[in-house]
Structure 1
Amino acid sequence: MDAVVAPKPVLDKPLMHYGTRVLDRVSPGTPESRYELLDLTPLTPHFGAVLGGVDLTRGIGEALAEELRQALLEWKVVFFRGQTGFTAEHHLALAGVWGPPEPNPFFPGTEHAGVSRLAKDATSQGNKNIWHSDHSFMANPALGSVLRAIEVPAAGGDTMWADMGAAYDNLSAELKERIEGLTAVHDWEPSWGALMNDVQKAAFRANWPRVEHPVVVRHPRSGRRTLYVNEPFTTRIVGLSNAESRELVDELVLQARIPEYQVRFHWEADSIAIWDNIATQHYAINDYYPRRRVMERIAIEGVPFA
């Protein structure tokens, strides 16, 4: 006898926006930026750019630092290639353009405080990744991250980013009204806790309680409204029933998967990515097994949401 397959539920509304999409690089009315020290090549018209014209190992003066801040604010994720001789000390100095490092309690560190090493080799097949925002399970989530490539496969191992300001802009008016003023619970346990026993989870919970953040935040520098929910760490919407919360979280987290909001970067050794962790989500593609990929990352200390 053939197996009986239950029909899938018919949704009374689409989970994603159909039709024309608004893809603004910055909020309407923002003056056009000018760069005197940086060469800037966009990867898409509104999101992601490769920067050149500078050697980051020669020090970063205030004029260059200000252009770097402006480029990141405008493009949300920026990249450098060919930064030969770039060391952990240079890495810390570059991240310091935006603020002090914020260690991740779940990542292995290095001899340099605040620097985490992310390595996968031929003996460890990578698990699938998931769209996420770094450290949203913290009270003050990381403002940004700086990731450098030390060893990369010849093919595969790309990283993708999604513009969550664009994701918010393209929500329906009805959905924007529905989520206005809502807060969501963010928690590390459904993801990182899956690798722990009960004793380990209890020890981490003492230092990392569940936190709440607005579903829609205002970026601390630009003021742009940004959708701030992600698949692994956003567990529920405060004040809604379990069913309503699950439906709404599912609809909101899917927005990061829309290609028009995304940019994709292929790594080479001595490449560097800097991303705005409030404005974006990212996804590291695990398609390079059994090749080796070694990266080092610094997260930048966050500030409370206004």
Structure 2
Amino acid sequence: MTVTDTEPTPAQTPPALREARVPADGMYEGRRVLRRLPDGWDERPYELLDIAPRGRVIGAEIRGVDLARPLTAALREELNRALLEWKVLFFRGAHITAEQQRAFALNWGELETNPLLARGSAEDVVRFDKGGSATPTYENVWHADVTFRERPALGAVLQLREVPPYGGDTMWADMAAAYDNLPEAVKERIEGARAVHDFIPGFARFYGPEQLAPHQDRFPPVTHPVVRTHPETGRRMLFVNTSFTTHIVGMDRAESDRLLSFLVRQAHVPEYQVRFQWQAGDVAFWDNRATQHYAVDDYAPHRRVAERVAIAGDRPY
């Protein structure tokens, strides 16, 4: 047969593909916006400390700072700026006492207590002692701390006292990056939305009703914006998490569950994360307003001991 100008050639005819469909609300490959700092941020050199970045948008090791010594006003300012810019700071081999850990955290505000977790050497020191006969708790889920409070923690200072021979890393995710990369249609849908947070879902995984019921009056459900604004940087950040967010106000259960499932999965994107491999005496200081974290539970039957102090925060807006 003679091929005419009006007849398609084999090169012009696309091959037929079988019909295929991926599930709705999935997460797909592609370039992501990785913006570490707010637009217009005045990034200046540090004079009193050295910074070694651990990730593209989150996580930096701080060198040249002795956490056992009181902070000067100038050093506190530089550390706070580093916290805002990197969201989680790591201090290798600090080996500070619980009192020195408390004194360091007090530079950022009053310390909060948590009656739901094991107490350390003081009422505002939480002790995580995993292994042996200790009561198990589970932090191997992406979450921000105590979002069931009206004023969730500003941040936390965690020191590893004893590390297992392998495993036991902690991961943090930048929730501003997670928000930046949401589809525009989702951003429009959650603009102005509020969600309910409750302590019971997170703690019912390892405590029974008889242990939780006495705390219900102290910690009633609270509502927070689905997207909060950082009070110091102005960044907008996703503020829902698997442990404590129960539903979005004004949505029926099925719609809320589907949207929350999509939103909480954003913390799982590796480009938004940093992973830290602990050594005994290491300290991490993170901004709980801007991050979520995940304690990797891969070290059984070995022991892992950590102590944490948390700094009371503001009411999210």
1:22-61 residue pairs with structure 2 within 5 A? 22-61=33-72
1:55-93: per-residue Cα shift (whole Å, max 9, x none)?
A: 111221111111110000000001000113x11111011
Aligned to 1:88: 98
Worse-superposed segment, 22-31 or 176-185: 22-31
Equivalent residue in structure 2 for 1:227, among 231, 238, 245:
238
Equivalent residue in structure 1 for 2:272, among 252, 261, 276:
261
Equivalent residue in structure 1 for 2:118, among 93, 108, 112:
108
TM-score normalised to the size of structure 2? 0.89
Q: Secondary structure at the match of 1:176?
A: helix
Aligned to 1:283: 294
**Which is greater in Rg?**
2
Worse-superposed segment, 102-111 or 14-23: 14-23
Give the AA of the match of 1:111: S
Cα distance 1:18–1:129, how it changes in 2: closer, same or farther (>3 A)?
same
Is the Cα–Cα contact under 8 Å of residues 17 and 170 in structure 1 kept in the other structure? no
Is the Cα–Cα contact under 8 Å of residues 158 and 284 in structure 1 kept in the other structure? yes
Is the Cα–Cα contact under 8 Å of residues 17 and 172 in structure 1 kept in the other structure? no
Aligned to 1:213: 224
1:1-306 residue pairs with structure 2 within 5 A? 13-16=24-27, 18-84=29-95, 86-123=96-133, 129-306=140-317
**RMSD over aligned Cα atoms:** 1.6
Worse-superposed segment, 45-54 or 104-113: 104-113
Per-residue deviation, 1:94: 1.1
1:83-122: per-residue Cα shift (whole Å, max 9, x none)?
A: 13x1111101111121111112211112323111111124
Is the Cα–Cα contact under 8 Å of residues 65 and 97 in structure 1 kept in the other structure? yes
TM-score normalised to the size of structure 1? 0.92
**What stretches of structure 2 of length at least 5 have no aligned partner?**
1-20
Provide the C-alpha distance between the structure 2 equivalents of 1:128 and 1:29, rounded to a whole number of angstroms.
36
**What stretches of structure 1 of length at least 5 have no aligned partner?**
1-9
Give the AA of the match of 1:110: G
1:140-181: per-residue Cα shift (whole Å, max 9, x none)?
A: 100101001111112110000000000000001110000000
Aligned to 2:3: none
Q: Secondary structure at the match of 1:97?
A: helix
Give the AA of the match of 1:154: P
Identity of aligned residues (%): 51
Aligned to 1:7: none
Is the Cα–Cα contact under 8 Å of residues 149 and 270 in structure 1 kept in the other structure? yes
